[in-house]
Structure 1
């Protein structure tokens, strides 16, 4: 059977539990047609590149499918009808990638960078000798000409 990566975006005001129920329902559609869902990843609530049906954010879910093409067509038909689905995309792949997707890898790298960041450290204060000008040097320095001297 052909392999597919299927991503759909659910509306922002749908709860995480409702998104999980959608995934279970769509998994049932695939399995009832003789296919199987190899894996699912929930990418969470993310910003959209542009507004879709007055939504600025959406719940992203990726499903790896091993199913015949007519099952994928039925899955897309179900999602087209569903009110809570903003967009979907199905791509045929030669093989499924092992491990987490690039989106999930990027999220882990960002969290590790946040942990390693030194921005919270306080820089040592400049030494007192650098900030202060010795009094003797200040007294010897020429003063700015007064208004009377310039006339």
Structure 2
């Protein structure tokens, strides 16, 4: 059996049927002796270009291990399902279990957003009580502060 990565786009009006589609395709793969290693629902996203006047679609990713007969059945299921706008099946060298790059970016942005929200909600008491600073007192003679950038050797002359 070979390993494949399957990405398919579902019509945005059919988004509520996505869990049922995942279940159906997973059952189809396991019925032919294959296994599903990973399922990712990327959600509704903007398309790079309109497909049949559709500008958004629901993206799904499957990493599967299946033989050629099971792959043919999966391709036929995609072909005869009007809700599937596009599909792409890529051969992989081995199974993939971790998060995809898209899910990693989404998880990191979600974590950053949560951290920012927590930081915004703090009472800003992290500096502690500074107390009364009181009067600064006499500053004394501070000497020449170097207000002029001219060196001692340079003289200003008035030219007419």
- Scaled by the length of structure 1, the TM-score of the pair is 0.72
Name the residue aligned to 2:11.
Answer: 11
State how far apart, in whole Å, the 1-side matches of 2:21 and 2:97 are.
Answer: 24
Kindly name which structure, 1 or 2, has the bigger radius of gyration based on alpha carbons. 2
State how far apart, in whole Å, the 2-side matches of 1:47 and 1:81 are.
Answer: 24
- Structure 1 residue 114: deviation in Å? 3.2
State how far apart, in whole Å, the 2-side matches of 1:98 and 1:31 are.
Answer: 17
- Structure 1 residue 115: deviation in Å? 4.0
Name the residue aligned to 1:69.
Answer: 68
Structure with greater helix percent:
1
- Structure 1 residue 82: deviation in Å? 0.5
State how far apart, in whole Å, the 1-side matches of 2:69 and 2:89 are.
Answer: 13
State how far apart, in whole Å, the 2-side matches of 1:64 and 1:11 are.
Answer: 21
Give structure 2 stretches of 5+ with no counterpart: 121-160
Give structure 1 stretches of 5+ with no counterpart: 121-151
- Structure 1 residue 117: deviation in Å? 5.3
The answer as to 2:94 corresponding to 1:95 is: yes
Name the residue aligned to 2:105.
Answer: 106
State how far apart, in whole Å, the 1-side matches of 2:21 and 2:115 are.
Answer: 37
* SS across alignment from 2:73: helix
- Scaled by the length of structure 2, the TM-score of the pair is 0.68
- Structure 1 residue 7: deviation in Å? 0.9
State how far apart, in whole Å, the 2-side matches of 1:33 and 1:114 are.
Answer: 43
Q: Deviations over 1:62-90 (max 9, x none)?
A: 11111002211210111011010000011
Indicate the RMSD between aligned Cα atoms, in angstroms. Answer: 2.0
Name the residue aligned to 1:58.
Answer: 57
* SS across alignment from 2:14: coil
- Structure 1 residue 8: deviation in Å? 0.7
State how far apart, in whole Å, the 2-side matches of 1:35 and 1:98 are.
Answer: 16
